[in-house]
Amino acid sequence: MDDRQALADERDRARALSTAELADAIEAIGFSCTRCGACCTAHDDGEDHTATVFPEEVRTLQETTEDSWNDVARPMPYGVSETGGETFEWALQTTGCGDCAFYTEDADGTGGCTVHEDRPLICQTYPFSLALSGTSQPLGEPVDSDGLLRAHDCEGLGRSIDRDKALDLAATLKERAITELTEAIELLERYERADPPDGSVVVHDSEGAKRPDGSKI
Ligand code: SF4
């Protein structure tokens, strides 16, 4: 079975998931965002915040902010060195201190998101993810009996969540898994190994090979 077929099978599995059962598991563990900002800022070890954002999501954020592609997204850093290289997908752009470019903080330390209504699927579903092959981090510990629903370490876990919110979160988790797998399938279909000259970066996504400013090569 080739990689694309394996991903397509995994996408079928994601489509068949019961939203109600996922919501049961989310309700059982409980979650409410405390606005601590931990999922939007640089990591404790000094690594920049790195969250996947897909081309359509970049364009949505561009429309909202009227910013350039570069202001919204940067090449996923894995595989890229000081001398350039090729990489897969995009990460939300960061500030000089490594926080997400859209993170804001009140004087009392309460975190916020300046693009909350249009934030990417990975942000909408944090700290949860589904352990399906071909989907992205963060994964974290299993929190259901099948080991499919994962929860990343987060201080908002364990707080009560009402049924409607749990159902919304479950539906968005499914949508995210299906989107990630569709992106991965389309990326594989279009991928052709690039050999970027020194100092340049090529980003492969579901729409083909691109420059770091999002323009197609
Ligand atoms: S887009 Fe918003 S929710 Fe997502 S990491 Fe940035 S500040 Fe946080």
* 78 belongs to a structural domain: yes
Q: Is the pLDDT of residue 44 over 90?
A: no
* 7 belongs to a structural domain: yes
Are β-strands 85-88 and 201-205 bridged in parallel, bridged antiparallel, or unpaired? parallel
Provide the pLDDT for residue 141: 75
Question: To the nearest whole percent, how much of the chain has pLDDT over 90?
Answer: 81
SS (H, E, C) the chain: CCHHHHHHHHHHHHHCCCHHHHHHHHHHHCECCCCCCCCCCCCCCCCCCCCEECHHHHHHHHHHHCCCHHHHEEECCCCCECCEEEEECEEECECCCCCECCEEECCCCCEEECCHHHCCHHHHHCCEEECCCCCCCCCCEECCCCCCEEECCCCCECCCCCHHHHHHHHHHHHHHHHHHHHHHHHHHHHCCCCCCCCCCEEEEECCEEECCCCCEC
Q: Which of 92, 106, 121 should be mutated for ligand 1, with most atoms under 8 A from CB?
A: 92
d(Cα 127, Cα 210) in Å, to the nearest integer? 30
Model's pTM, two decimal places? Answer: 0.93
Q: Is the pLDDT of residue 16 over 90?
A: yes
* 91 belongs to a structural domain: yes
Residue closest to 187 by CA, chosen among 160, 210, 211, 212: 210
- 61 CA closest ligand 1 atom index: 1
* 217 belongs to a structural domain: no
Count other C-beta atoms under 10 Å from residue 10's C-beta.
21
Q: For 75-98, what is the mean pLDDT?
A: 92
- 51 CA closest ligand 1 atom index: 5
Question: Domain of 144?
Answer: 3-210
Provide the pLDDT for residue 46: 84
Residue closest to 83 by CA, chosen among 177, 187, 201, 199: 199
Provide the pLDDT for residue 27: 96
d(Cα 205, Cα 78) in Å, to the nearest integer? 14
* 138 belongs to a structural domain: yes
Q: Which two tokens mark 37?
A: 């900002």
Q: Is the pLDDT of residue 1 over 60?
A: no
Q: Which of 39, 119, 172, 176 should be mutated for ligand 1, with most atoms under 8 A from CB?
A: 119
* 137 belongs to a structural domain: yes
Q: Which of 67, 113, 124 should be mutated for ligand 1, with most atoms under 8 A from CB?
A: 113
Gap from CA of 119 to ligand 1 centroid (Å)? 6
Q: Is the pLDDT of residue 138 over 90?
A: no
Q: Is the pLDDT of residue 144 over 80?
A: no
Gap from CA of 170 to ligand 1 centroid (Å)? 19
Q: For 24-32, what is the mean pLDDT?
A: 96
Q: Range with the lowest mean pLDDT among 20-29, 134-143, 198-207?
A: 134-143
Cis peptide bond prior to 127, omega within 30° of 0:
yes
Over residues 179-214, the pLDDT tens digits come to 999 999 999 999 998 888 888 999 999 999 999 999
Measuring CA to CA, how many Å separate 33 from each of 22, 68, 109, 156, 157?
Answer: 18, 29, 14, 5, 8
Gap from CA of 113 to ligand 1 centroid (Å)? 5
**Residues 59/67, Cβ–Cβ less than 8 Å:** no
Q: Is the pLDDT of residue 7 over 60?
A: yes
To the nearest whole number, what is the mean pLDDT of the chain?
A: 93
Q: Range with the lowest mean pLDDT among 47-51, 116-120, 136-140?
A: 136-140
Q: Range with the lowest mean pLDDT among 2-6, 31-35, 171-175?
A: 2-6
* 115 belongs to a structural domain: yes
Q: In sequence order, which residues have a C-beta less than 8 Å from that of residue 142 and are 6 or more positions away?
A: 131, 148, 149, 150
Q: Is the pLDDT of residue 70 over 70?
A: yes
* 216 belongs to a structural domain: no
Q: For 149-171, what is the mean pLDDT?
A: 96
How many domains does the structure of the chain reveal? 1
For ligand 1, atom 7, the nearest C-alpha belongs to: 103
Q: For 166-170, what is the mean pLDDT?
A: 98
